[in-house]
Structure 1
Amino acid sequence: MSGNSKGRKRRFGSVRKLPSGRWQARYIGPDGLPRKAPDTFDRKRDAEQWLVGTEAEILRKEWIDPDAGKITLGEYADDWVRERDLKARTREEYERHIRLHVRPFLGDLALNEVTAPRIRGWRADRLADDVGTSTVAKTYRILHAIFATAVDDDLIRRNPCRIKGAGQDKAEERPTATLDQVFAIANAIQPRYRLLVLLATFAQLRFGELVALRRRNVDLDSMELRVRRATAEMEDGTQVDDDPKSDAGKRPISLPAGLKKDIQAHLESFAQTGPNGRLFVGPQGGIPRRRNFNRVWKKALRDAGIPAEMDLHLHDLRHTGSTWSAQSGATLKELMARIGHSSTRAAMIYQHATRDRDHAIAAALDTLITEARDTPSRPDLARIWHAATER
């Protein structure tokens, strides 16, 4: 039997029986406005217990205005993107993901109607519709960030994006080129882009960083390249020079001395004049565009004899050079500084073990086993291991 006996007025809220026979719970919120439970109850006791829980939330200052979360996800997402301090290309990317993969399926729902089961269903449907796993993971990360802000804004109590690992982008391993292939491509491509291929590999630069380079960014005396800007290409075709995505993107890069003659020849023949002149320009003097460059790139691959099934992209040369840097013994922090990343996640990709190196480790272990069996006393394992791995 309820502790709220007949004739005793409730200390918080009230319950009443509706003509339907169900029970309704009502109360005055902390804002002084009359409120009612979002649902009715089968029993009076259930309505009273709901009021007890609501009062406890108010006392703990955990109460959330149920009307606050009634803004639709589509409206809130638009505000969220607009209020973020984002690079132009990133803003455009977020808007595209929301427009294509969120708004048609969840956009008309109120924030407090988007539950964890709805998010699970949305993700499963996107994958079932053959949307790429990378795209779904990216969209999920955006949604998670939007709802995290909604929690901070006291619009919802808990983030509904709670699928473990759903935001992880597990892209398949990209190919790495050999040294011979890199120089074959550099020799086959249009001469004005030869240095671009070499810097993509040996300075590990992105396309946007390459086309933003100016004469003043190159110091031939110290053989150093200073990355300060990146050119972003928008969906409408406009090109915008902006700061890199993070402060780590602004970085000096030491260049191999072997590239000095290539740089000098390029400066004399193809770069714009003056300290602010662009290092790379197209045949008509414009900033190279990805789509146009891709045609030049694919022709160079064919002329260089690169197998089509390799599916080598220009960005794979950055991956190639970074892998070589890791194999040269560069530390994680050194790799992060060189490739312009502020987190360890991307840099660790390049520290993966190669098959050849794995075979060398196995051979070294075999040497340990053999010498341990042949040596009556305890062998100097550190000396043996060092000698074996140096072979």
Structure 2
Amino acid sequence: MKKSPKLPPGIDQNRAQRYRVRIYFEGRQHTVGVFRTVGDAKAALAIAHSEKARGTFIPPAEKRANIRAQREAEKLKQQRDEKTVLDLGDAWLAWLERMGRSTGTIYTYRRHLEGYFYPTFGAQPVTSITTDDITKWYDKLRKDKGSGVAPRAYLTVSAMFRYATGETKDLPRSFAPWIDESPADVPGGAKTEAKTRTSDEPVATPEEIAQIAAGMPPREALGVLLAGWCALRIGEVLGLRRRHIRRTGRTGQRVVWLSIEEQVQARGSGPRLDPPKSVAGIRDVPVPTRLVPALEAHLKNYVGKDADSFLFPRDLTGNQVHNPNTYRKHFNKARDAVNARSEQQPPRLEGFTFHGLRHSALTRLGQAGATLSDLMSFAGHSDIESVLVYQHSERDRLSSLAETMSEKLQLAQDVIS
């Protein structure tokens, strides 16, 4: 029987008559490989010792792990490169919906993307978008659409790319980023130029507000008065229920308050109830005393007895939310009727909107001596710049301001009968 040749240290022969090469490295034994001939095994062992001496030796298991990691990285990169900006937008908006963002907010984001961003970048891979691309897009949008549209659209785009990097708050740990860094990095891109009210912008007089209210369907007239004297948005008017009417104080000194807790929105879908956009929007607003009789008459004639009954339901026989678009059409018709009777040409309220009622109320409140804090509390304003100086006004002071305004309210008592 032929005797097996003596093998050098680091080489042994297994049962399959193959030659296994092993080497010690950093206190551990590593298998270099298995070879058919002893010559190949000796050559592999010599190479391993040489690499070890030069400090370049990498254990084969580690090499294989590196190769697998590289292949996974290449696969992930390929998957990233195949995803378009349209795909990213859909994923981001779907995540926002799952997180409970309001339908109106998602609708606004979608409009920004579809109107201003997708036409240029929608079909492009997310990984191909650069900071230079975003900067050029922003500069053109600002030039074409102005400093009102461009910053708002940019904020939407910036938030979408922040989601893509995985830096958005509340993302799960399993989230796989689409990109490593956001290309939305335009210095001052989110800054808007403050709009200043001019003397040419109409502020409706008490008489004009009363005339518009008189031209509304009787069960909707009070809404114009509440907007024009309590500075309510149209959605806040339509969101009022019987339980939102609160009375405080003693007889003879009683103050009536409107609790603003919800609003009706119609953007993106049918009319629905949403909470105010910010905490500041949830507030109590005093009703001027001279407007209280009209409010009480409305509650008696048009509002159900249940606490959840809407002040301005869609139909008298039900309790479904009124569509803001329908209510706005009625307002526009009543406004146009007032303008048609105007001797001034063009009419002073030409193009006057329902939101103009809110502006008119806040203007009169400012003229009555309200501080910035009073105005913000009364109106429910909240934005990044004003949060630092925001303070809640005292209820007594708001009530006093409402009474000052009430002195100017001559016609409201006779509008609704």
TM-score, normalised with respect to structure 2: 0.61
Query: 1:291 is matched with which residue?
Result: 325
1:99 paired with 2:114, answer yes
Q: List per-residue Cα deviations over 1:78-132 (Å, max 9, x = no partner).
A: 222222231111112222322333223212222331112211333355467x557
Query: 1:277 is matched with which residue?
Result: 309
Is the Cα–Cα contact under 8 Å of residues 241 and 310 in structure 2 kept in the other structure? yes
Amino acid of the structure 2 residue aligned with 1:140: Y
In 2 relative to 1, CA 312–114 (structure 1 residues): closer, same or farther, beyond 3 Å? same
Is the Cα–Cα contact under 8 Å of residues 226 and 252 in structure 1 kept in the other structure? yes
In 2 relative to 1, CA 120–327 (structure 1 residues): closer, same or farther, beyond 3 Å? same
1:184 paired with 2:211, answer yes
Query: 1:72 is matched with which residue?
Result: 84
- Structure 2: how far apart are the matches of 1:96 and 1:203? 31
Query: 2:299 is matched with which residue?
Result: 267
- Structure 1: how far apart are the matches of 2:358 and 2:321? 20
Post-superposition offset of 1:190: 2.7
Query: 1:227 is matched with which residue?
Result: 260
Query: 2:162 is matched with which residue?
Result: 148
1:333 paired with 2:378, answer no
Instruction: Could you tell me which runs of 5 or more consecutive residues in structure 1 were left unpaired when the two chains were aligned.
Output: 1-8, 12-27, 38-64, 349-391
In 2 relative to 1, CA 341–309 (structure 1 residues): closer, same or farther, beyond 3 Å? closer
Query: 1:254 is matched with which residue?
Result: 286
Decide which of 185, 196, 199 is 1:162's aligned counterpart.
Answer: 185
1:218 paired with 2:250, answer no
- Structure 2: how far apart are the matches of 1:329 and 1:31? 72
TM-score, normalised with respect to structure 1: 0.65
Amino acid of the structure 2 residue aligned with 1:79: A
Amino acid of the structure 2 residue aligned with 1:226: S
- Structure 1: how far apart are the matches of 2:160 and 2:67? 26
Query: 2:225 is matched with which residue?
Result: 198
Give the root-mean-square deviation of aligned CA atoms.
Answer: 3.6
Q: Report how many aligned residue pairs link the two structures.
A: 299
- Structure 2: how far apart are the matches of 1:229 and 1:312? 25
In 2 relative to 1, CA 215–123 (structure 1 residues): closer, same or farther, beyond 3 Å? same
In 2 relative to 1, CA 183–233 (structure 1 residues): closer, same or farther, beyond 3 Å? same
Amino acid of the structure 2 residue aligned with 1:143: V
Matched residue of 2:285: which SS?
Answer: strand
- Structure 2: how far apart are the matches of 1:300 and 1:173? 28
- Structure 2: how far apart are the matches of 1:344 and 1:137? 14
Query: 2:61 is matched with which residue?
Result: none
Post-superposition offset of 1:321: 1.4
Pairing 1:1-391 to 2, within 5 Å after superposition: 32-33=69-70, 70=81, 71-84=83-96, 85-126=100-141, 134-153=148-167, 155-170=178-193, 175=201, 176-220=203-247, 221-236=254-269, 238-282=270-314, 285=317, 287-305=321-339, 307=347, 310-343=350-383, 345=385
- Structure 1: how far apart are the matches of 2:321 and 2:166? 43
Q: List per-residue Cα deviations over 1:241-260 (Å, max 9, x = no partner).
A: 12211222221112211211
Post-superposition offset of 1:347: 9.2
Matched residue of 1:163: which SS?
Answer: coil
In 2 relative to 1, CA 344–192 (structure 1 residues): closer, same or farther, beyond 3 Å? farther
- Structure 1: how far apart are the matches of 2:306 and 2:262? 17
In 2 relative to 1, CA 155–270 (structure 1 residues): closer, same or farther, beyond 3 Å? same
Q: Which has the higher contact order (CA 8 A, sep 6+)?
A: 2
Post-superposition offset of 1:299: 2.1
Is the Cα–Cα contact under 8 Å of residues 204 and 349 in structure 2 kept in the other structure? no
Instruction: Could you tell me which runs of 5 or more consecutive residues in structure 2 were left unpaired when the two chains were aligned.
Output: 1-53, 57-64, 168-176, 248-253, 389-417
> Identity over aligned residues, as a percent?
25
Matched residue of 1:223: which SS?
Answer: strand
Amino acid of the structure 1 residue aligned with 2:84: T
Is the Cα–Cα contact under 8 Å of residues 185 and 304 in structure 1 kept in the other structure? yes
Post-superposition offset of 1:72: 2.4
Query: 1:371 is matched with which residue?
Result: none
Is the Cα–Cα contact under 8 Å of residues 29 and 35 in structure 1 kept in the other structure? no
Matched residue of 1:102: which SS?
Answer: helix
In 2 relative to 1, CA 68–167 (structure 1 residues): closer, same or farther, beyond 3 Å? farther
